[in-house]
Structure 1
Amino acid sequence: MKSGLSNPMVKIVFYAILILWGISVIYPLLWTLLDSLKNNDQFFRKMPWSLPDFPLLWSNFSYVWREFSFGDYFLNSVVVTIGSTLLGLLLSATTAYVLARYPFRGSTALFLLYIASMMIPFSLALIPLFFLMNSMHLTNSSLGLILVYASTLIAFGIFVLVGFFKSLPKELEEAAAMDGASYFGIFFRVMLPLSQPGLITVGIVNVLNIWNEYIIGTILVNDPKHYTLPVGIAMMQAQMQYRTEWGPLFAGLLITIVPVLIMYMFFQRQIASGITAGAIK
């Protein structure tokens, strides 16, 4: 039996849909780039989606970076994202390994509890979370954001990684134990490297979520020195008050978007292979 894609008409429709989908994704990014190179006069004198006039205002990027402290916001986002992702991966991987390889009474109920926690809207916990973090003197600090973000990543990491650890042959653990490896040695030197596709998939999903997170960053941080990029963009618009500088605002958005795009370009194969492997396992 021939596959559906062997039909020329089906192929044309299929590729047309892919092209339209690609345009719908690329156009907003291109529009953001073009608008970041304009001044307010070009926005009001022409249509917002028109091409920018020459010379292009690349100075909008340096203006945002310097005048609105986007350099500090960018560094804060990098520190918080890397710290919370690594901590979240460590906690979720160790927990998933124990649940998958060393079942105990109540381990299934504990796993289901972790999964059930993903269904609870996080907005319900914002008020008690603020009072908890405030009582621990962890508001207005990057450490507080790292701990909160890492705790929100554990359930999803466990959900993905339990399947990876269950699929690994038990003979690998037995061989490592016969060679004298401890429990920690077996986990960190044997099992963790073998679960790399799952770790990469979970890590990238977590990076995307944390990098773009706004609500928790707004509630737990009101000191500009510790703002992340999403909060910094909102504060930038608020500082402009009655006259929004659209060019610099779009430049700030682009500064926020570009690191995520670069990361996805480098790790797209690992993301696809990790998701596929997780689905099969």
Structure 2
Amino acid sequence: MKRSVGQILGRGGIRIPLILWTIAVLYPIFWMFLGSFKSNAEIYRNPWGFPETINWQNYIDAWTNFNIGSSVFNSFIVTIVGAVLTLVLAIPTAYAIERINFRGSKYLFTLYVSAMMIPMVLGWIPLFFLLSDLHLLDNIYGLAIVYAVSQLPFTIFVLTSFMSTIPKSLEEAAAIDGLSPYGVLWKVITPLSMSGIITVTIMNAIQFWNEYFMALIFLQSSENYTLALAIDFISSEAQYTNAWGTLFASLVIAIVPVIILYAIFQKRIAEGMTEGAIKG
């Protein structure tokens, strides 16, 4: 009986804080979702209650008056280009560091790992002038390149841990069958590292989608704004125009793709991070 009571208390001591934390995290999102369907008058009159009627006008205003549609498109472009470019650069680099024995390979890996410790803010000013010289300032593709480079150390670090456990005998067998080193990389190593690749790609995509400060620095024209900048602009306007419902609708538009992406790949992300931790 004592053991049963102790187990109940032990489980309650773990679960109750988790439940409270879940409520604290989900309730503001739920409140924001309800607010996106309210008029401004209803938000002031009944901020914590359910909407009296489902009002889609806030979403229409966000999409048309504040040009959220263009910002969503820009964020999709930046996220996709940045995530793909990160993989194109990171996969061969991780393979070379892990599989090809050359002088300085360990020091190169240490350099990439050390780069993870350097705050990105230290490079913002040099990057601003570099993008300006390359005529990539105020360009969403230039921003995508910056995003890709910023996530290279983390991506390489994760992928090398996955590639280190792949038996070299598979590469030798593929080479005997006539595959070139590039063929071995893309047809053998890459498919076997797919769990790690999917994990880092999703994490990078979420990072790129939500990023604000570099977009604020490197983008200047409103037509090139990403979703984070557009929401910041709407937030500033809401203080003077009372467009709080439009702001809530814009926030819902921003978080729904992330929630859907994470919900679809949640199991794969958890497996990839666990597997990567064990392999690392």
Structure 1 length normalisation: TM-score? 0.94
Shift of 1:16: 2.4
Number of residues of Structure 1 aligned to a counterpart in Structure 2: 277
Change (3 A) 1:151 1:4: farther
The answer as to whether partners of 2:35 and 2:51 remain within 8 angstroms in 1 is no
Q: How does 1:162-201 map to 2 (within 5 A)?
A: 162-201=160-199
User: Could you list the runs of 4 or more consecutive aligned residues of structure 1 that deviate by over 3 angstroms after TM superposition?
Assistant: 3-6, 238-241
Distance 1:240 1:8, change over 3 A: closer
Q: Is the 8 A contact 2:237 2:243 kept in 1?
A: no
Deviation readout 1:26-51 (Å, 9 max, x if unpaired) = 212101101111222123333x3x11
Match of 1:35 in 2: 35
3-state SS of the aligned residue for 1:242? helix
* Percentage of matched positions with identical amino acids: 43
Q: Which residue of 2 aligns with 1:243?
A: 241
The CA deviation string for residues 115-163 of structure 1, in whole angstroms up to 9 with x for no partner, is 1111111111111111110111001212101111111111000111111
**Correspondence for 1:137:** 135
Give the distance between the partners of 1:141 and 1:209, measured in 2 at CA. Answer: 19
> What is the Cα deviation at residue 8 of structure 1?
2.6
| Residues 60 and 247 in structure 1, CA contact (< 8 A), matched pair in contact too | yes
Q: TM-score w.r.t. structure 2 length?
A: 0.94
Q: 2:75 aligns with which of 74, 77, 93?
A: 77
Q: CA RMSD in A?
A: 1.8
Whole-Å Cα distance in 2 between the matches of residues 193 and 6 of structure 1?
A: 47
1:5 is displaced (CA, Å) by 11
Deviations 1:148-205 (A, max 9, x none): 1111111000111111111110000000000000111101011001001111111111
SS at match of 2:33: helix
Match of 1:89 among 87, 90, 106: 87
Instruction: Give the 5 Å matches for 1:241-280.
Output: 242-280=240-278
**Counterpart selection for 2:65 from 64, 67, 86:** 67
* Superposition deviation, residue 220 in structure 1: 0.9
Unpaired segments ≥5 residues, structure 1: none
Deviation at 1:241, TM superposition (A): 5.8
Aligned position for 2:10? 10
Q: Residue 126 of structure 1 is aligned with which of 124, 127, 136?
A: 124
Q: What are the Cα deviations for residues 224-253 of structure 1, in whole angstroms up to 9, with x where unaligned?
A: 121110011112233456233111101101
1:6 deviation in Å?
Answer: 8.7
One-letter amino acid of the counterpart of residue 269, structure 1: K
Counterpart of 1:168, as a letter, is: I
Residues 241/7 of structure 1: CA separation in 2 closer, same or farther (3 Å cut): closer
